[in-house]
Amino acid sequence: MSKKSGFLSSSIGKKVIMGATGLFLISFLVIHCFLNSLIFVNDSGALFNEGAHFMATNWIIRAMEVVLMLGIILHIVQALVLTLENKKARPIGYAKVNGSANSSWYSRSMGLLGTLLLIFLIIHLAHFWVKSRFTGLPIDDNTGHDNLYIVMQETFKYAWVVAVYCLAMISLAYHLMHGFQSAFQTLGLNHKKYTPLIKSVGMWFSIIIPIIFAAMPITMHFGLIK
C-alpha cells in the first residue's frame, strides 16, 4: 500500500476527506443560494429561469454537477465510516458522560442532522432535479426555455412541503454551525489570528444561508412573490 493510499484510509485521512468535501459542498451552497434567490427579483421568474437555463446547458456546469454528486456521496460515505469507527472504538459507554461540558449538542448530533439532510436531499432532488433532467419541465412561452419557476410555485403551494423545507433548513443551520469551522480545523487551517474570524464567518454563514433558502418556499407559498 502506498503512503498516499495509506493516509487516505487512516482515520486522519478520512477526516481530511470529510473536511475537503464539506468545504466543496459549502461553496456549492453559495452558488445554489445565489441562483435560487433570483426569484426575489419578482419578475414572474424570468431572470431565475434564465439562470436555470444557463446552469442546465453550460457544459462546465454539467460536468461540475457530476463532481458535486460524487462529492455528496463521498461526504456521506466518509461520515458513516467515521461514525461506525468511533462506535467500534468505544463499544461500552462511559459510566458518566457530561458531553455538554466540552461540546454543543449539535456538534454531538452531526449524524442525526446529516441523516435528516440526506432525507431532505432525496425529496428535493425528486421535486426539481429529476424533473429538470429526466421527466421534463413546463416551457416558458416567452423564451422557449424550461420554466422551473412554475415547478417551484406548484411544489410550494402545499403547506406540508414548506414545513419540510423549513425544518430541513434548521437542520442545515446547525449542521453548518459545527461543520464550517470543523472543516477548516480538520484541514489544519488554524491560526490564533484567523480562527476567531473563521468561527464568526461560519456562524453568520450558518444563519444567513438557511434563512434565505427557507424564505423561498415561505414567500412563494404565501404569494409574496409572483
Tens of pLDDT, residues 77-135: 888 877 777 777 665 554 445 555 556 777 777 778 888 898 999 999 999 988 887 87
Residue position matching grid coordinates 454537477: 65
pLDDT at residue 112, as a whole number: 82
pLDDT exceeds 70 at position 213: yes
Band of pLDDT at residue 223, cut at 50, 70 and 90: very high
pLDDT, position 133 = 79
Q: Which amino acid is at 129?
A: W
What is the per-residue pLDDT for 215? 97
User: pLDDT at position 91, please?
Assistant: 56
Whole-angstrom Cα Rg for the chain: 20
The DSSP letter of residue 43 is S
Q: Enter the C-alpha cell of residue 8.
A: 487516505
Query: What are the respective helix, strand and coil percentages of the chain, to the nearest 5?
Result: 75, 0, 25
Please give the model's pTM, rounded to 2 decimal places. 0.82
pLDDT for the residue 165:
96
How confident is the prediction for the chain on average, in pLDDT? 83
Q: How far is CA 64 from CA 11, 81, 128, in A?
A: 28, 25, 18
Domains of the chain and any CATH numbers: 3-90+103-221 (1.20.1300.10)
Element (H, E) at 174: helix 159-186
Q: Which three cell numbers mark 217?
A: 418556499
Name the one residue in this structure whose C-alpha cell is 468561527: 199
